[in-house]
Amino acid sequence: QVQLVQSGAEVKKPGASVKVSCKVSGYILIELSMHWVRQAPGKGLEWMGGFDPEDGETIYAQKFQGRVTMTEDKSTDTAYMELSSLRSEDTAVYYCATDPDYWGQGTLVTVSS
Amino acid sequence: DIQMTQSPSSLSASVGDRVTITCQASQDISNSLNWYKQKPGKVPKLLIYDASNLEIGVPPRFSGSGSGTNFTFTISSLQPEDIATYYCLQYDNLPRTFGQGTKLEIK
């Protein structure tokens, strides 16, 4: 059974960075295309970026370009999403999600001074 | 980027009603569309993939149709456990884009 287990909740100050991890079990990470989605409190789902298997690159939503980095450690089947220059509007639950469709449990990131 | 326009944003219906939600894409996405259900504080759950295919284990009262730019999601007979927010997602092109969501309530 495929499971995606994310790291725990984080509280960060404005201007800081956060790195969220997503550990895959029951599958090999290289056989999945990993994406990251976030959801601000009371708001809808927002796609942040993900792996494009057609060209082997990670594509970021324009809104996050320059602030987000998505990486993978194939030796541990763990994906990472790092978001920098945090502001209060980045307070959200961050999800990893794959093709085929599996989701992590979500990681709450709170940005507050 | 492809824009997904989902409507309505909220919907109130009675148990047993037929419920329809639509998503319109700003350009042709073929049948590259998923429908998700999300309850508060929970992970989104895939209901329909490739616009019209029912995910394993999802009750047959849920269905999807459409291709190109216009898509429809239907609950044939609304049940109390269907109260949730529903989202469409296009995956024809990166960046992927979600619809704005439809919050479904019981009348």
How does residue B79 score in pLDDT terms, banded at 50, 70 and 90?
Answer: very high
**Which DSSP helix (H) or strand (E) runs through B89?**
strand B84-90
Burial class (CB in 10 A: 0-12, 13-18, 19+), A95: buried
Q: What average pLDDT score do residues B53-73 get?
A: 98
Which of A105, A78, A79 lies closest to A94 in space, CA to CA?
Answer: A105
Q: Is A30 a residue whose pLDDT tops 90?
A: no
E strand spans, chain A: 3-6, 10-12, 18-25, 33-39, 45-52, 57-60, 68-73, 78-83, 92-99, 102-103, 107-111
Q: Which of B46, B97, B101 sits opposite A101 (nearest CB)?
A: B46
Q: What average pLDDT score do residues B14-18 get?
A: 97
> Distance from CA of residue A71 to its chain's centroid?
9
Q: Which residues of A touch B98 (CB under 8 A)?
A: 37, 44-47
- The pLDDT assigned to A59 comes to 95
B1 and A CB contact within 8 Å: yes
Average pLDDT, chain A: 96
Q: What average pLDDT score do residues B33-44 get?
A: 98
d(CA B14, nearest CA chain A) in Å? 24
Which of A59, A33, A32, A57 lies closest to A48 in space, CA to CA?
Answer: A59
A104 and B CB contact within 8 Å: yes
- The pLDDT assigned to A1 comes to 87
Q: Do residue B44 and residue A45 have CB atoms under 8 angstroms apart?
A: yes
| pLDDT cut 90: percent of chain B above it | 99
Q: Do residue A44 and residue B87 have CB atoms under 8 angstroms apart?
A: yes
